[in-house]
A and B are shown apart, each in its own frame.
Chain A
Amino acid sequence: MKPLKARRIRQRITPYLLVTPTIILVGVFVYGVVNGVLQGFGIMPFLGRTELTLDYYIEALNRNDFLASLNYSLYLSLTSAVLALIGGIALSAALTRVRASRTIQLFNIQIPLMTAHTIVALFLVSLFSGSGLFPRLLYWLGMIDDVGAFPSIIGGASGWGIILVYLWKEIPFIAFYTATIMMHVSSRYGEAANTLGASSLRSFFSVTLPLCRGALTKASLIVFAFAFGSYEIPFLLGPTLPKALPVLAYLEFQNPDILNRSYAMAINGIMALICCIAALAYFLVLQRERKERKSDD
């Protein structure tokens, strides 16, 4: 009787032991984010400041470069997420359609996944800067006359260099995230629809794609949040003005006056808020998937 009881207790606490290390690490993550956001409200216990104030947020919102930065960041990340979603669906569907071998997947998905964003920025510079390979090709074809006639991707306000970096990285990421489920769905339901007489295009759009909706939404939310919050690419390829939000925040953060950090943290707080909306959408998708799992059982 006794060992059985002990085993039952052990079984009951097992899941909690299994999740503890993750909870500690995610706890550190949340602590860091919350601590940053609180500093934006002027709460810096390490400097003896514990009074909550909205001044920094108000000041940040009133700065004339802030709204331009916010718009610019939203433009970059939304454009990247939407285009990456379209490209990712196409890549995933193409891989499913030709039943890609491991080698094809390696080159189309794994290599882009393995390449750091900063290296992709280097690619873009080598190909599309004023003296890059692409302008050389245009010159050779007689379409431009001189070095510099091609619009440089570095510092351009249109940000297409930045968007291209994200597309190069995230189209394969979305395909990576959805190809497995798409192959599964397609072989299970898509082909059934084909046998019942639907064209493969129709069965893709009315059967396969809707069944992958959850995974696609999650993947594009991740892409949006990443493009919205990352520092390296807009720093390397972005224009002087407007700066992307993370670049603006880090600039304020680096100011030797430590009180100035509160401005940086207020900007971070607004970024975190926007990403929380993305997180909420992600949570809703998870909830729906859970319900679907339950109704499957």
Chain B
Amino acid sequence: MIEDKQGGEANTSTQPQGREAQGRSHADSRQIRKARRRNHAWVSRVFLIVHLICVLLPLGVIVAWSFTASWPWPDLLPQQLSSRGLVELFLSRQGLGPVLAQSIAIALASALLATIIAACAARALAFHDFFGKELFRFATVLPFLIPSTVFAMGIQVLFIRAGLANTAVGVVIAHTIVALPYAIAIMSEVTVAAGQRLEQQARVLGASSLRTCLHVQIPQLLPGILSAASMVYIISFSQYFLTLLIGGGAVKTLATVMFPFLTSGDRTIASAYGLVFLLSTLMVFFLFEMLLKRFASREVSYFEG
């Protein structure tokens, strides 16, 4: 791809070369420029590889630690492998299963709620003019900018009075609120990109608004819907402070249960928690990616056929 680009540049930069000397210096500078461009691609690749190592190395260390029985200083590699960490997590410590199930349920509910609400808001922002639109656009990003710690401590009294404190429903609402800006940002982008042409065509051809929604809008927006949903899922799954304050210890999620272990002495247990956490988020992400691939290809054939 990069070779293509250089070829293209060589073609387009042929300029009238009247005098010999100027022509040569032009060719020289072109050579230099080409070399420089190649250098930059090289720098970019190295940068990406270094960044990739920074991303993957700690993941590898966590996986290694969670299957390690002993890894004494100063060995570079673990000495003995065991499944103690994971076994203890799921069997001895009153079972992590229910906690994991509750975390996934809360995250899925938040993802569903936030994505639907964000899709509506994004549609209003993209296609409608209404009173206070710019203020609304700004209001949607407020949870991005005002810390959720301030929100959590302030809202606790209201949630207690509304009977939402210490309940999973309350936690879902709180998670939806803090994840909403992400969902709206993603949905806005795809809604604007999709435009209104196809749905207007469907309406003109006599489709009901429900059919238009099911057969035109949702397929068109699907990549955004799935990406917003997986983003909200991850944000909800990761919340510690908000879950602690609203759930009050009664609502246990993986994020709150594992927190005290993270910096504790038992590195094997901490890493086992980390591994379970990473797998639960990765699993959902790849599930959504698969859904996207399956339905996106169907959408293409739908429009071509």
Contact surface of A with B, Cβ cutoff 8 Å: 14-19, 21-23, 25-26, 28-37, 39, 46, 90-91, 93-95, 97-100, 104, 107-108, 110-127, 131, 133, 135-137, 139-140, 147, 154, 168, 171-172, 180, 194-195, 197, 199-201, 221-222, 225-226, 228-232, 236-237, 246, 249-250, 253, 261, 264-265, 268, 271-272, 275-276, 278-279, 282-283, 286-287, 290
- Whether A29 contacts B143 by the Cβ 8 Å rule is yes
15 A-B pairs with C-beta separation under 8 A: A26-B177, A32-B154, A33-B146, A37-B154, A108-B55, A110-B285, A123-B58, A127-B61, A136-B73, A199-B33, A230-B149, A232-B240, A246-B147, A275-B146, A279-B142
- Whether B176 contacts A115 by the Cβ 8 Å rule is no
Chain B residues, Cβ within 8 Å of A97: 40-41, 44
Within 8 Å of chain A (Cβ to Cβ): is B20? no
- Whether A116 contacts B149 by the Cβ 8 Å rule is no
- Whether B41 contacts A15 by the Cβ 8 Å rule is no
Within 8 Å of chain A (Cβ to Cβ): is B210? no
How far apart sit A225 and B40, CA to CA, in the bound complex (Å)? 33
Within 8 Å of chain A (Cβ to Cβ): is B157? yes
Residue of A nearest to B264 (CB): A125
Within 8 Å of chain A (Cβ to Cβ): is B18? no
- Whether A122 contacts B62 by the Cβ 8 Å rule is yes
Q: Is the interface of A mostly helix, strand, loop or mixed?
A: helix
Within 8 Å of chain A (Cβ to Cβ): is B197? no
Chain B residues, Cβ within 8 Å of A93: 44
Chain B 115-159: CB-based contact to A (< 8 A → 1; otherwise 0): 011101101100011100010111111111111111111110110
Chain A residues, Cβ within 8 Å of B281: 114-116
- Whether B271 contacts A140 by the Cβ 8 Å rule is no
Given contacts A108-B51, A133-B76, 13 further A-B contacts (CB under 8 A): A19-B120, A28-B155, A30-B142, A31-B154, A36-B151, A36-B155, A46-B157, A94-B51, A110-B285, A168-B54, A172-B55, A199-B33, A231-B241
A15 and B124 in contact, given A22-B180, A37-B154 (Cβ under 8 angstroms)? yes
Chain A residues, Cβ within 8 Å of B148: 229-230
Q: Which of B80-88, B91-99, B254-262 contacts A (4 or more CB under 8 A)?
A: B254-262
Chain A residues, Cβ within 8 Å of B278: 115, 119
Contact surface of B with A, Cβ cutoff 8 Å: 1-2, 9, 12-13, 33, 36-37, 40-41, 43-45, 47-48, 51-52, 54-59, 61-62, 65, 73-76, 116-118, 120-121, 123-124, 128-130, 134, 136-155, 157-158, 161, 173, 176-178, 180, 184, 189, 231, 234, 237-238, 240-241, 255, 258-259, 262-263, 267, 270-271, 274, 277-278, 281-282, 285
Chain B residues, Cβ within 8 Å of A28: 155, 158, 173, 177
- Whether A113 contacts B143 by the Cβ 8 Å rule is no
Q: Of the candidates A18, A172, A282, which one forms a contact with B145 in the assembled complex, judged by CB atoms under 8 Å apart?
A: A282
Q: Of the candidates A31, A147, A195, which one forms a contact with B9 in the assembled complex, judged by CB atoms under 8 Å apart?
A: A195
- Whether A116 contacts B54 by the Cβ 8 Å rule is no
- Whether A90 contacts B47 by the Cβ 8 Å rule is yes
How far apart sit A83 and B47, CA to CA, in the bound complex (Å)? 16
Chain B residues, Cβ within 8 Å of A172: 55
A-B CB proximity, top 10 nearest: A229-B147, A36-B154, A32-B155, A123-B58, A116-B238, A15-B128, A18-B124, A94-B44, A15-B130, A97-B44
How far apart sit A199 and B9, CA to CA, in the bound complex (Å)? 12
How far apart sit A29 and B180, CA to CA, in the bound complex (Å)? 11
- Whether B262 contacts A121 by the Cβ 8 Å rule is yes
A122 and B270 in contact, given A108-B55, A133-B76 (Cβ under 8 angstroms)? yes
How far apart sit A127 and B124, CA to CA, in the bound complex (Å)? 47
- Whether A249 contacts B74 by the Cβ 8 Å rule is no
A98 and B142 in contact, given A22-B180, A110-B285, A229-B148 (Cβ under 8 angstroms)? no
Chain B residues, Cβ within 8 Å of A171: 51
- Whether A100 contacts B142 by the Cβ 8 Å rule is no
- Whether A126 contacts B120 by the Cβ 8 Å rule is no
Chain B residues, Cβ within 8 Å of A114: 234, 281-282, 285
